[in-house]
Chain A
Amino acid sequence: IDRDMQTVTLIPGDGIGPEISAAVMKIFEAAKAPIRWEERNVTAIKGPGGRWMIPPDAKESMDRSKIGLKGPLKTPIAAGHPSMNLLLRKTFDLYANVRPCVSIEGYKTPYTDVNLVTIRENTEGEYSGIEHVIVDGVVQSIKLITEEASRRIAEYAFEYARNNQRNSVTAVHKANIMRMSDGLFLRKCREVAENYKDIKFTEMYLDTVCLNMVQDPTQFDVLVMPNLYGDILSDLCAGLIGGLGVTPSGNIGANGVAIFESVHGTAPDIAGMDLANPTALLLSAVMMLRHMGLHDHGNKIQAACFDTIRDKKVLTKDLGGNSKCSEFTDEICRRVKDLE
């Protein structure tokens, strides 16, 4: 066993998942990245006691490797078990969802020079799932904000900013209206900011962020926020750079676990037809390499991917071309080898 090889748990997923995972593995091989893939399936099974859980071999692999790469998972309808993404989140306490949004030169959108990161608290907030029908026709949904979760996400945001040479962290909130809950979140961010004097800390209302984001996204750097605002803003920012097909995403958990994933759907209509665009999963894999400290390989693969897109000669359909997934993949492999 090559001692330099690091193990990564690979979850290909459903629909176009297997083909884009294969594309990523091929590109990694071309780049000679020191990664050994361990493929696992995470379809929920019923454990002892009747509770739904991910298969034990998948959990064991993740606990050992600590790093995962995941393709899209289909949303179960009438399958009896909850969403797999939710199950993964709970199993590994994936508390931070990180999405770097960088404009891709060569894939034109009305917005250029976007370079920001959204860091979203992913365990509580508006998605606590606690809802009640009080009386017929009156529903109450509970938004939960705790000191612990707010402190943890704030700390992650500042650590991320420091480790990735970012200049400022902005807390996004609506404490004018939700004084106690967002107020608590804000207070924790302020407290953590005290320990990171090298990073500039600002606060901004959610509506002001939205208003300014669509007019001038270059003014934003790292954004940290509770669950719902994070959900909305991270998708808004993905829209600025071209959508979910080109946006990477990472989920950071407790105990050093990190799972990187593409956030687009399974695209069942084109599954198995060699038409898929592996960019999102590839860029998530690049994020993963950087997380693991393998910056050289990460930069090389990213450069090859962006060069291919910029060149416009070999592009998948969603990027405006008419090449196959395999052709796009081979082109990136070729460039990666040239960059040696």
Chain B
Amino acid sequence: MILCVCVLQPPPARYGGRHTVTLIPGDGIGPELANHVRELFRFCCVPVDFEVVNVDSTMASEDDINNAIMAIRRNGVALKGNIETNHNLPPSYKSRNNLLRTTLDLYANVMHCQSLPGVRTRHRNIDIMIIRENTEGEYSSLEHENVPGVVECLKIITRTKSLRIADYAFRMAREKGRRQVTAVHKANIMKLGDGLFLECCKEVASGYPEINFDSMIVDNTTMQLVSRPQQFDVMVMPNLYGNVVSNVCAGLVGGPGLVPGANYGEDYAVFETGTRNTGKSIANRNTANPTAMLLASCLLLDHLKLHAYASMIRRAILTTVTETRLHTADLGGQGSTSEVVQSIMNAVQSTGPRTLSI
């Protein structure tokens, strides 16, 4: 029996038509990018107020992340930077990002990778939507050491969650008029786990006869992605393969600085950069590419049904990205973050809506 998943409604705007959105700056380049989002929104007079919640990743206590989760429950929607995980700490210290995703049951991670004009890459005409199960699979954080030197890590696949993510993928494909959904798996080896996932995808596919459904083994998928990525349309997969495929696709269209990501649950939505990098090594140098975070903020605006603002800002961002002389270091240029943001604001201003004077 397929769960009936209702269309996610954005929280109603209160207090004079303004929305309150939780903002978690995170670590590395997170804080500076969050500031640029606020700057841009202020400039464009976007009716969004940010409730900033800082999460200190050096603290052992989970109070900070719990506060952030509570704030997201309150506001319904959030924009977030990546929170660093020190993987040398013992297993009792869990990844804050993962805690957030699983506690709020943000079950669908959606990343749309498109070739952008003006960004030079080896492959052209890529347009892939990646739908990744975001709460179970290999990220269940269930590990134990049976005897010293022998560790088991459990990958959990459930019928409920597999059906849910498959349904999300097919609904999204139908909504956006996409032709093909490809399930990525390793069911030849993980016969029960990935076998169940694949079975659920097939079950859901039968309810969408206008959409082609096929499946591909994950290692072949990566090989195909680097030789002919144009063959893919919508891809749906469990958590870890989603991690691999989304990073490969982001690399193919120009890198981590360009692609936004969205995490959707039944009741909440959290927006961030697609590949979730902290960017520690380039923090506070004014060299980070703000495109991914700013495009994520546009996804946020669309979610809040502020489509006019979203389109306006997105148009300005895409105009700026084609301007090669402004490319940041990750795209092979020498532009600074603030130059890019300034150029976006100029582009917005030149299209004529009411904005704050620069």
Contact = CB atoms under 8 A, between A and B. Distances in A.
A210 B87 contact: no
A179 B248 contact: no
A236 B223 contact: yes
Contacts of B139: 177
A80 B153 CA distance: 30
Contact of A138 (B91, B149, B159, B240): B159
B190 A179 contact: no
Contact of B85 (A176, A181, A182): A176
B223 A235 contact: yes
B200 to A, nearest CB: 9
B226 A133 contact: no
Contacts of A144: 150-153
Contact of B244 (A109, A183, A206, A238): A206
B127 interface: no
Contacts of A147: 148-150
B275 A207 contact: yes
Nearest to B218: A232
A147 B252 CA distance: 36
What size tier do the contact residues of chain A reach? 35 or more
Interface string B85-115: 1011111010100100000000000000000
A207 B186 CA distance: 18
Contacts of A240: 226
Nearest to B145: A180
Interface residues of B, number: 61
Interface string B30-73: 00000000000000000000000000000000000000000000
B155 A126 contact: yes
A174 B143 CA distance: 13
Contacts of A236: 219, 222-223, 225-226, 248
A180 B143 contact: yes
Given A111-B122, A180-B91, A183-B87, A139 B223 contact: no
Nearest to B189: A127
Contacts of A78: none
Contacts of A219: none
Interface of A: 109-111, 126-127, 129, 131-133, 136-148, 174-184, 186, 206-208, 210-215, 228, 231-236, 238-240, 243-244
Given A141-B157, A179-B93, A236-B223, 5 more contacts: A139-B192, A146-B150, A147-B148, A184-B149, A228-B186
